[in-house]
Amino acid sequence: MLELPFHYPNLCQVSEEIPLIDTHEHLQEEQDRLALGEGLDFSYLFFRPYQLADMVSSGMTLADANRLQSDSLGQEEKWRLIAPYWQRVGYTGYGRAVEVTVREMYGIPGLNEETYDEVTAAMRARNKPGVHSWIIREKAGVALCILHNIDGDGIVYRQNADPVLYCQALAVNHFLQNPIPLEKLATITGVVPDSWASYQALIDRYFNLYHDKAVAIKNNCPYWRSLYFDDVPDNRAEEIFRKAYVLGKPITLSEVKALQDATFHHSIRQAVRYDLPIQIHTGYLADNYNLDLSRVHPANLTNLFTQYPQARFDIFHTAYPYQAELAALAKNYPNVYIDMCWAWGIDPIGTKKSLQTFIGAVPLNKIFGFGGDVWMADIVYGYARLARWGIAWALAEMVDQGYFGEEEAVLATRRILYENAQEFFNLPKKVIP
Ligand SMILES: [Zn+2]
């Protein structure tokens, strides 16, 4: 499965063996995975790594999707719910990632009626301290992940993350929530902000505390709003903040947006101050019934690219399905970079074609080739294999067609999977093997 282009042995070798910089993960903490104990089973391969959303798209009811995630169902019942849809979604990138993980990482000949309990047994047998390192480092060949925690309201930085496996992006999305989780955010100072100025000071405190540990900031706001951020003056932000959080009055949707706009501009200025790259979700959204394509365009960010020439924008997910729009932006703006995280799972074949477009249009140093974007570590393996396979074939096809030679393809692979991200995020060489 996912065979490499063996007619180019040097390209195959680098594609297979180079350690990856993984620009984006939401991985749960290992201790939480260990705590699942006998509750861990094959169905976890379908949860937050998105496979369940493809099943709903294929016809599974939302009620069944919810039942699947309840602990009270046994393995057999879970398999009966999944089986009809697994046949439908096994062909997508999400499905391939599960299948290749089962086959190659656990050494079981595919996920089916006969093997699901064997898959569960293999997952439980590996569920011991060090399991994340085994999956991420040893099997997937990832040198370092950049983690965006999804641990809950107001958790901007995960305190106990393993510093060998992970660097972190400051989760500035919490600053942009509605309502703002002020009390939770204020736990680091003990003082709940009572003005726009004191809210800015609280945000600054996070930057001050974590700027030398974090390697980026992350904003995933297209899940709840558009990517267009007006430059709102301080007196307007103060007026809205006071109305909502001092006087406790309801605010309109446009006031909510304006306060978030001002907050993100402020976060960008702080990121520039500390030279932290700005990771932004653009394009496709996880789950179902939520994709409003009009608000996820990377072109919505153009005013920020112009206003902050010193900021460095890491634009996520190839802006799928707006890859060409992102290529044009990254070609034009020196401060815009393309990040292929999650894209190998969303659409592996389209992403292979997009990579050829990116290489032909955008300077090579501006392409980051891999991020899994998952909560369940096992699937990092599947997405890493898809990325290694897709990048090798994208480049092999370009060599086949005489665009460049194999040695140039090898150098490009090194850049795309390792060197570009290592330089861009100033990653500590000491923690990377
Ligand atoms: Zn993500």
Q: Could you report the per-residue pLDDT of 369-410, keeping only the tens digit for each?
A: 999 999 999 999 999 999 999 999 999 999 999 999 999 999
Residue 355 has pLDDT above 50, yes or no: yes
Chain mean pLDDT for the chain: 96
227: its two tokens = 């990517």
Lowest mean pLDDT among 40-49, 205-214, 357-366, 385-394: 40-49
Ligand 1 midpoint to CA 25 (Å): 6
pLDDT at 49: 66
Gap from CA of 53 to ligand 1 centroid (Å): 15
CA of 378 to the centre of ligand 1 (A): 16
Residue owning tokens 């599974």: 60
pLDDT at 335 over 60: yes
Rounded CA gap, 422 and 20, in Å?
10
Task: Kindly tell me the sign of the dihedral angle through the C-alpha atoms of 147, 153, 156, 160.
Answer: negative
Q: What is the pTM of this model?
A: 0.97
The DSSP symbol for 298 reads G
pLDDT in tens, 19-70: 999 999 999 999 999 999 999 999 999 987 689 999 999 999 999 999 998 8
pLDDT digit string (tens) for 103-134?
A: 999 999 999 999 999 999 999 999 999 999 99
DSSP state of 195: S
As a whole number of Å, the end-to-end CA separation of the chain is 27
CB of 336 closer than 8 Å to CB of 313: yes
Q: How far apart are CA 179 and CA 256, in angstroms?
A: 9
Distances in whole angstroms, Cα of residue 238 to Cα of each of 185, 196, 198, 206, 285:
18, 5, 10, 20, 32
User: What is the per-residue pLDDT across 235-265, written as a single tens digit (0 to 9) for each?
Assistant: 999 999 999 999 999 999 999 999 999 999 9
How far apart are the CA of 341 and the centre of ligand 1, in A?
8
The pLDDT of residue 163 is above 90: no
236 CA → ligand 1 middle, Å: 31
Cα separation of 299 and 228, whole Å? 9
Q: Which token pair is 252? A: 């309109």
Token pair 């044009």 in the structure block, residue: 328
Whole-number Å distance, alpha carbon 24 to ligand 1 midpoint, is: 6
pLDDT category at 160 given cuts 50, 70, 90 is confident
Query: What one-letter code names the amino acid at 190?
Result: G
pLDDT of residue 230: 98
Distance 36 CA to ligand 1 centre (A): 23
Nearest CA among 345, 299, 263, 267 for reference residue 25: 345
171 C-alpha vs ligand 1 centroid, how far in Å?
11
Whether residue 365 is predicted with pLDDT greater than 70 in this model: the reply is yes
Query: String of b and e for 417-431 (b: at least 16 CB within 10 Å)?
Result: bbbbbbebbebeeee
Query: How do strand 214-219 and strand 20-25 relate by DSSP bridges?
Result: unpaired
At 367, the pLDDT band (50, 70, 90 cuts) reads very high
- The CA radius of gyration of the chain, in Å to the nearest whole number, is 22
Say what the pLDDT of residue 428 is.
74
Per-residue pLDDT at 345 exceeds 60: yes
**CA-CA distance, 391 to 387, in Å (whole number)?**
6
What's the CA-to-centroid distance between 126 and ligand 1, angstroms? Answer: 25
Contact 257, 295 (CB under 8 A): no
Rounded distance from Cα 406 to ligand 1 centre (Å): 33
Q: What is the pLDDT of residues 67-82, one digit of tens each?
A: 998 878 999 999 999 9
State the burial class of residue 226 (Cβ atoms within 10 Å of its Cβ: 0-12, 13-18, 19+).
middle
Q: How far is the CA of 56 from the centre of ligand 1 (A)?
A: 20
Using the structure block, give the residue that is written with the tokens 């999707």: 65
**Distance (Å, whole) CA 405 – CA 179:** 54
Distance 78 CA to ligand 1 centre (A): 26
pLDDT-derived band at 432, boundaries 50, 70, 90: low
Amino acid at 78: K
Distance (angstroms) between ligand 1 centre and the Cα of 146 equals 11
pLDDT of 431 over the 90 cut: no
Going 361 to 364 to 370 to 373, the CA torsion angle's sign is negative
Strand partners, 217: 170, 278
Structure letter (DSSP) for residue 362? S
Query: For 134-153, how does the pLDDT look when each residue is reduced to its tens digit (9 = 90+)?
Result: 999 999 999 999 999 999 99
pLDDT at position 162 over 80: yes
Place of tokens 């992006």: 169
% of the chain with per-residue pLDDT over 70: 98
pLDDT level of residue 430 (50, 70, 90 thresholds): very low
pLDDT of residue 183 exceeding 80, the answer is: yes
For residues 371 and 23, is the Cβ–Cβ distance under 8 A? yes
- Answer whether residue 360 shows pLDDT above 90: yes
